[in-house]
Homo-oligomer: A and B are copies of this chain.
């Protein structure tokens, strides 16, 4: 599974190190990467308290780099710092999830349009290979493999937009959604996998025809469909998929 290792900044350079391990000597960079991974993967529960002291103790560093790391994660929307109270893992409300999906629809649609305008680029080849493998996965009813391929399809689309700003904003959105975990929920709906596969084929077909308008429109419809499938398989409270709904939480 392709996972963008980190979103250190939205500035100029995208990936100074060629992916993989963030061996960036900086302590806080390691803390940021690890904490982000924990939140996105659900290793820490939404709403959980993140104490500076215990994190500093755990990582073997002082409180300063931990503090700066948490501050950055706050700007990414992954944690919430309540002054003089504590730092907590954010829990997107149902409304926020809807907003995030609106943004997802927007950005992925635009990426499809931009890719269509670019003509034959290497990402197109990767997308074709991806769909061939996805067809096989659907055929074999290998949902886990298909989920990974779906993730890759969308990642390739975004990369194919050739717009670094679009890519940066997209990563932040996906992190806030913890999308990699949500995909499985979406695909658990009966028939969704094959339907999704067909929609992917249609989008790529329109891209190959250089029909940017249609590619964008169909891609948007695809995102809406995937959102419907996702929300249908989600508990009504609309919290993150990590379960363990807190009872005492004040209603939205």
Q: Is there an interface contact between A83 and B164, defined as CB atoms closer than 8 Å?
A: no
| Residue interface bits A113-127, CB-to-B below 8 A is 1, else 0 | 010000000000000
- A47 CB to nearest B CB, Å: 12
Q: Which applies to chain A's interface (DSSP): helix, strand, loop or mixed?
A: helix
Q: Which residue of B lies closest to A113 (CB)?
A: B106
Stretch at the interface among A18-26, A34-42, A184-192, A232-240: A18-26
Q: With an 8 A cutoff between CB atoms, is A12 at the interface?
A: yes
Interface size on A, residues (CB 8 A): 40
Task: Report the minimal beta-carbon distance from A112 to chain B, rounded to whole angstroms.
Answer: 12
Q: A62: shortest Cβ distance to chain B, in Å? A: 12
**A226 in the interface (beta carbon within 8 A):** no
A18 → chain B closest CB, angstroms: 6
Q: For the complex, is A143 an interface residue (Cβ under 8 Å from B)?
A: no
Closest to A29 in B: B83
Residue contact A83 to B169, C-beta cutoff 8 Å: no
Closest-CB distance, A175 to chain B (whole angstroms): 11
Query: Which one of B64, B76, B110 lies within 8 Å of A75 (CB-CB)?
Result: B76
Which residues of chain A from 63 to 94 have a CB within 8 Å of any chain B CB? 64, 67-68, 71-72, 74-77, 80, 83, 90, 93
A interface list, Cβ under 8 A from B: 9-12, 17-18, 20, 22, 24, 26, 64, 67-68, 71-72, 74-77, 80, 83, 90, 93, 96, 99-100, 102-103, 106-107, 110, 114, 163-166, 169, 172-173, 176
Could you show 19 A-B contacts with beta carbons less than 8 Å apart? A10-B75, A10-B172, A11-B80, A12-B80, A12-B93, A12-B96, A18-B77, A64-B64, A68-B71, A72-B75, A75-B75, A75-B76, A96-B164, A99-B164, A102-B110, A102-B114, A102-B163, A102-B165, A106-B106
